[in-house]
Amino acid sequence: MSPFLSPLPPFRWDIFCRVIDNFGDIGVCWRLANILQQDYQQTVRLWVDEPQALAALEPNLNLNLSQQTLRQIEVCVWSDDFADTQVADVVIEAFGCELPSHYIQAMQAQPPIWINLEYFSAEPWVQGFHAMPSKQSNGLDKTFFFPSILPNTGGLMREADLLQRRDTFSANQANHQAWCKQWGLAEPLKNSFKISIFSYENKAIEYIFKVWSQSSMAIEVYLPQGRLLTSAQDYFDRPLHAGDCLTQGNMTLHILPFLPQIEYDKLQWLCDLNFVRGEESFVRAQWAAKPFIWHIYPTDDEAHWDKLHAFLTVYSQDIDPNAKTALIEFMQGWNQQTLRAEQWSALMQAWPHLCQHAQDWVIYLESLGELTSNLVKCVKSKV
């Protein structure tokens, strides 16, 4: 059993999710629901306002049903005409989504443990607010819980067996070949440098494609269908569909369908470098123990730059100085949607340091405790 696991009495959990960032919000909530059910044997009900987003991550979801049981989790459509329902023992308000008003009224009669699962942040101020209760105007306490890479915060989420599954998949090249065959992809070229890209629209993709096509080594790029596909189509000046394979110079681009969560994990394990976005794929990249480039969700008030800087400050603090500079400049350039050839060259020169740091980073994350385990401990402290 993972040292993260902490036993918990059988509770009923309600997780409320409004889909804002396409798949990031529901991806986090669906993963949390699964870990609570599978690793902690909890009874979980997930409320989601856009079930089609969940269907992309979990193909077995039936979009014709407003309520169904999937993987022993009750999945309910969160509609505007929210019906009266029994309040759970633990209520997770994901990312400040604001619970239905009459559900909150019912909570006053039967107060649950109410937790606001916040967005990820490595900004120092979250340490002072993590796991702190806030008295609401209705008299109920709401506790704010922060995913983070800082000590004394929520940590990052993963399943108890994730690292074992990762290592088993990565240990045998035949697993890579079988996975590619499953998705209609050509067998990876021997000694090629493999890159996955899951990002928001980004003008820099056109420039980095040019750099990769002129590379001295063979580069294979795996692009699942998503928002970045539009940017890639502009570069190739043609529609792109799942199953397409295009070669330009030393770069081969593979277009994949949008992948279910468990399959996207395998893509990250297969690749040498992963471009990720938002929160869900960003967290999985860290557990993959591979170098990654994060495209943070851009906000109108530009607060995302503070979050990106805070993350890079913590993540890079123990990296070789030259490698640190190369990583920060490339990641900032990707987020600014402007890249230079020398930034890619510097990243490759720093590659051995970045690979070693990615592996050491997982050890550090484990020292923080896993998010679900920390959440369970928080709930137990309130019983």
pLDDT tens across the length of the chain (383 residues): 344 666 778 899 999 999 876 678 999 999 999 999 999 999 999 999 999 999 989 989 999 999 999 999 999 999 988 888 999 999 999 998 999 999 999 999 989 999 999 999 999 999 999 999 999 989 999 999 999 999 999 999 999 999 999 999 999 999 999 999 999 998 888 889 999 999 999 999 999 999 999 999 999 999 999 889 989 998 999 999 999 999 999 999 999 999 999 999 999 999 999 999 999 999 999 999 999 999 998 888 988 999 999 999 999 999 999 999 999 999 999 999 999 999 999 999 999 999 999 999 999 999 999 999 999 999 999 88
Terminal Cα-to-Cα distance of the chain (whole angstroms): 24
CA-CA distance, 23 to 27, in Å (whole number)?
Answer: 6
162-366 folds as Rossmann fold (3.40.50)
Mode of pairing for the β-strands spanning 292-295 and 251-256? unpaired
In this predicted structure, what is the pLDDT of residue 213?
A: 96
Q: Give every CB contact of residue 336 below 8 A, 6+ residues apart in sequence.
A: 204
- SS3 for 43-55 is EEEEEECCHHHHH
Q: What tokens appear for 224 in the block?
A: 């699942």
Q: Which pTM does this prediction carry?
A: 0.94
Mark whether 244 is an active-site residue.
Answer: no
Count CA atoms closer than 13 A to 364's CA, side-chain side: 17
**12-157+369-380 with 162-366: one CATH topology?**
yes
Which one, of 79, 74, 85, lies nearest residue 33 by Cα?
74
Count CA atoms closer than 13 A to 201's CA, side-chain side: 4
Which one, of 123, 46, 157, lies nearest residue 309 by Cα?
123
Q: What tokens appear for 273 in the block?
A: 């470098």
Which ranges of 112-223 does DSSP label H, i.e. alpha helix?
A: 126-129, 162-170, 173-182, 204-213
The residue whose two tokens read 């976005």 is 277
- Its CATH architecture, for the domain 12-157+369-380, is 3-Layer(aba) Sandwich (3.40)
In this predicted structure, what is the pLDDT of residue 90?
A: 98
Catalytic residue from among 21, 93, 220, 279? 279
Catalytic residue from among 25, 49, 280, 370? 25
Q: Strand, helix or coil at 376? A: helix
Q: What tokens appear for 215 in the block?
A: 């590379």
The rounded radius of gyration (Å) of the Cα atoms in the chain is 21
**Residue 80 to residues 18, 131, 288, 295: CA-CA distances in angstroms?**
12, 30, 38, 32
Residues in the chain: 383
In this predicted structure, what is the pLDDT of residue 2?
A: 47
Question: Burial, 128: exposed, middle or buried (Cβ in 10 Å; 0-12, 13-18, 19+)?
Answer: exposed
CA-CA distance, 383 to 378, in Å (whole number)?
Answer: 9
Q: What tokens appear for 130 in the block?
A: 């993590």
Mark whether 58 is an active-site residue.
Answer: no
**Residue 1 to residues 6, 20, 28, 375: CA-CA distances in angstroms?**
10, 35, 23, 18
Residue ranges of domains in the chain = 12-157+369-380, 162-366
Which one, of 279, 218, 283, lies nearest residue 248 by Cα?
218
Which one, of 281, 365, 379, lies nearest residue 3 by Cα?
365
Which one, of 106, 119, 132, 117, lies nearest residue 35 by Cα?
117
Mode of pairing for the β-strands spanning 245-248 and 251-256? antiparallel
